[in-house]
A and B are shown apart, each in its own frame.
Chain A
Amino acid sequence: MTVGLFIPCYVDQFYPQAGIATLQLLEKLGVEVVYPPRQTCCGQPMANSGFSHLTGGCDELFVESFKAFDYVVAPSGSCVLHLKEHLHSEKYPVVAEKLRSRVFELVEFLTDILKVKDLKARFPHKVGVHQSCHGLRGLHLSQMSELVAPPFSKPEQLLHMVDGIELIKLDRADECCGFGGTFCVFEEAVSAKMGKDRVSDHMRNGAEYITGADLSCLMHMEGILRRQKSNVKVIHIAEILNQAVAE
């Protein structure tokens, strides 16, 4: 199985360690991983702002970069959701259609495709899980608090395999952090207030780290935490799952 690794633009630029952890983790699990050099962006920043008609170039590049792979994996839930829902191509319509069902967010790839049952990782810390909205309500990585349906959580299923980790409980299990792409600047007041409230829920409940499957939310919360000079840190779930066990 060969996996094409998609590292979204802002992850490439600001969170390379999450990309590296994703790559190393997949390799540890015996997957052959390739990072196609001509990739750029999933197109979501434009589409969510109402400019989906400008994403054609992005989409074509994506399809050309990844058309040869069995699967595409990315450490970012919202980019994956966007691709699953909107990827299209004038040049290769059939390939684009096929790719839409083969793009996976890292967590769901681990639980649903690789069916990972145990991991050798250790992270002796108190950790709060941020359920990013697009991963939660779009990709169904966890059960949504609004629905009357049996609970489950794919990120927590994986985190429970990590030695020494303690997952904290939040007062509001799955409220949005307020990032929302361009929402974070065009609706600055409400966005920042949502971020502050989300972060304080984690702090109130004793988190040392906030983790999740979407770096855009983590980036937002990190911006707030650092402004508040808090000791709480954000960390992408791949980095926790990839923590080596000290021999």
Chain B
Amino acid sequence: MAEVIDNEKHIRSGRANLPEDHSSLSSVFNEDEERVNWHDETLWFIRQKRDKAVHGIPEWEWLRDTASGIKNNVLSNLSVYLEQFEANAKANGIIVHWAADAAEHNQILHSILKRHGADRMVKSKSMLTEECHLNEYLAENGIEVIDSDLGERIVQLGKEPPSHIVLPCIHKKKEEIGDLFHQYLGTAAGESDPQVLTEAARQHLRDTFLTRRVALTGVNFAVAETGEFVVCTNEGNADMGAHLSDVHIASMGIEKLIPERKHLGVFLRLLTRSATGQPITTYSSHFKSPREGQEMHIILVDNGRSRQLGREDFRNSLKCIRCGSCMNTCPVYRRSGGHSYHAVISGPIGSILAPNLDMREYADLPFASTLCGSCSNVCPVKIDIHDQLYKWRQVLAKEGHVNKGKAAGMKAMSKVFSFPGLFSFAGKTGRWTMKYLPFIVNNKLNPWYKQREMPKPPEQSFREWYEKNRRME
């Protein structure tokens, strides 16, 4: 194991041509401890709001069980519900498209825009389009996209990806947002009053809403029974965009289905209480058919979802309703910041979704956890997130995506533990542990020692005490 630690710096070299890993990115994040404290407390505050809201609902755990059960049904009969949804949506006058992957999704979208001669589009919050890197694709094709969700607009102006699925700019302090607005929206220098900044954004977006002919929204729930879809926002920006547009395009992952409209009574109660502690989103808008003269499209996107569905141990991750509460509760996320996960979706859920898309690139993420299990407990659809992190580790180690030094250390450790002779005679107190337990390597390069003292080896081990004081059988 010692060589593992000596080689700690080279962990990254095992990731040649890959982005820095979670460990190195989060250690950069931790260089500013004040900021880490601020980030941690901001998100912990939201976790507390969530706790307060859910403790007011005596049947909360029943709701979670029910939601999980409904999603089990959906995942087991996905093709049936998809076809039912498609048929009903078409009957309602919606144009339905199927996209196997991100590229196809982007092409479909682009072709709709081209047909309408549109070079600009307004878009409300959609993690799926982040996943498809739609903004970059459209920019390359000369189409301007304006994000109308306030948080998304802020990170868009800052040329950053969102760091959180519900609170895209949670990593930014209000002063930093003030600077961005000063630069791009002409607010006064040094202005950081949230009310003033929000008003500036509103004025700027109003103009966008009035002049864009094409609007894209995400989808929170699609109802197979009726062919309608539901979009949840707090700002009303999805409605504003969709209602003022000639063409409304909705992009949805194929797992967003629920069988019947009545099931919304379960999911809408869970979603925002989990996300922010609100009883319900300010707007939960149902879109069923285009208004007269309007065109309405739905793009159903797979992009790896059916592969994940086929992975028995990981299919449950497709139940996710993107509430973000697993991030808010995660003690690691709160102290690493979303960008340290270098994936579109960060935090615990991102860490079990990303390896499905690219095992090599995201091999570090399932290890960016202590497996404390808090995520699984807050998840409104009861995804066994921390168990899946554990299972991904097994898959990644077997497939050779774990650093070689670590693998060698594990082999050595397993040998010592398999032979009691080796174990008890590997030396007197403290010696073998110093050699084999990764956190106790007696060596200045041991990362343990940077901020923590080593345990003090006692005069005798328990075994030695027992031999002297009790008869060993």
Tell me how far the C-beta of B403 lies from the nearest C-beta in chain A, rounded to whole angstroms.
9
Q: B442: which A residues are within 8 A, CB to CB?
A: none
Tell me how far the C-beta of B45 lies from the nearest C-beta in chain A, rounded to whole angstroms.
12
Task: Taking A9-B417, A57-B414, A144-B377 as given, write out 19 further A-B residue pairs in contact, using a Cβ cutoff of 8 Å, ordered by the A residue number.
Answer: A11-B462, A13-B429, A16-B458, A40-B417, A51-B414, A53-B397, A54-B411, A57-B417, A61-B417, A133-B370, A146-B51, A175-B374, A180-B371, A185-B438, A189-B23, A190-B30, A190-B336, A190-B368, A197-B40
Determine whether the beta carbon of A13 is less than 8 Å from that of B433.
Answer: yes
Q: Which 7 A-B pairs have the closest CB atoms?
A: A57-B418, A180-B370, A50-B397, A223-B452, A50-B393, A146-B377, A189-B27
Interface presence of B372 (CB below 8 A): yes
Determine whether the beta carbon of A193 is less than 8 Å from that of B452.
Answer: no
Q: Is the interface of B mostly helix, strand, loop or mixed?
A: helix
Q: A34: which B residues are within 8 A, CB to CB?
A: 473
Determine whether the beta carbon of A185 is less than 8 Å from that of B447.
Answer: yes
Chain B residues at the A interface, C-beta cutoff of 8 Å: 5, 8, 11, 22-23, 26-27, 29-30, 33, 36, 40, 44, 51, 54-55, 57-58, 60-61, 329, 331-332, 335-336, 367-374, 376-378, 390, 393-398, 402, 406-407, 410-411, 413-420, 423-424, 429-430, 432-433, 437-440, 446-448, 450-458, 460-466, 470, 472-473
Interface presence of A38 (CB below 8 A): yes
Q: A37: which B residues are within 8 A, CB to CB?
A: 420, 424, 463, 472-473
Determine whether the beta carbon of A58 is less than 8 Å from that of B44.
Answer: no
Out of B373, B420, B433, name the residue touching A14 (CB < 8 Å): B433
Interface presence of A169 (CB below 8 A): no
Determine whether the beta carbon of B413 is less than 8 Å from that of A45.
Answer: yes
A16-B465, A133-B370 are known contacts. Are A184 and B433 too (CB-CB below 8 A)? Answer: no
Determine whether the beta carbon of B452 is less than 8 Å from that of A176.
Answer: no
Q: A217-247: which residues lie under 8 A (CB-CB) from chain B?
A: 219-220, 222-224, 226-227
CA A51 to CA B414, docked complex, whole Å: 9
Determine whether the beta carbon of B371 is less than 8 Å from that of A43.
Answer: no
Determine whether the beta carbon of B414 is less than 8 Å from that of A46.
Answer: yes
CA A14 to CA B450, docked complex, whole Å: 20
Interface presence of A92 (CB below 8 A): no
Tell me how far the C-beta of B162 lies from the nearest C-beta in chain A, rounded to whole angstroms.
21
Number of A-B residue pairs, CB cutoff 8 Å, is 243
Q: Please list 5 pairs of residues, one from A and one from B, whose beta carbons are closer than 8 Å in the complex, sorted by A's number.
A: A13-B433, A14-B458, A50-B394, A50-B397, A186-B447
Determine whether the beta carbon of A138 is less than 8 Å from that of B373.
Answer: yes
Q: A47: which B residues are within 8 A, CB to CB?
A: 390, 394
Determine whether the beta carbon of A187 is less than 8 Å from that of B433.
Answer: no
Q: Is the interface of A mostly helix, strand, loop or mixed?
A: helix
Q: B402: which A residues are within 8 A, CB to CB?
A: 49-50
A35-B470, A49-B410, A197-B40 are known contacts. Are A146 and B378 too (CB-CB below 8 A)? Answer: yes
Determine whether the beta carbon of A148 is less than 8 Å from that of B55.
Answer: yes
Q: B415: which A residues are within 8 A, CB to CB?
A: 57
Tell me how far the C-beta of A238 lies from the nearest C-beta in chain B, rounded to whole angstroms.
12
Tell me how far the C-beta of A82 lies from the nearest C-beta in chain B, rounded to whole angstroms.
10
Determine whether the beta carbon of B455 is less than 8 Å from that of A193.
Answer: no
Smallest CB gap from B5: residue in A:
A185
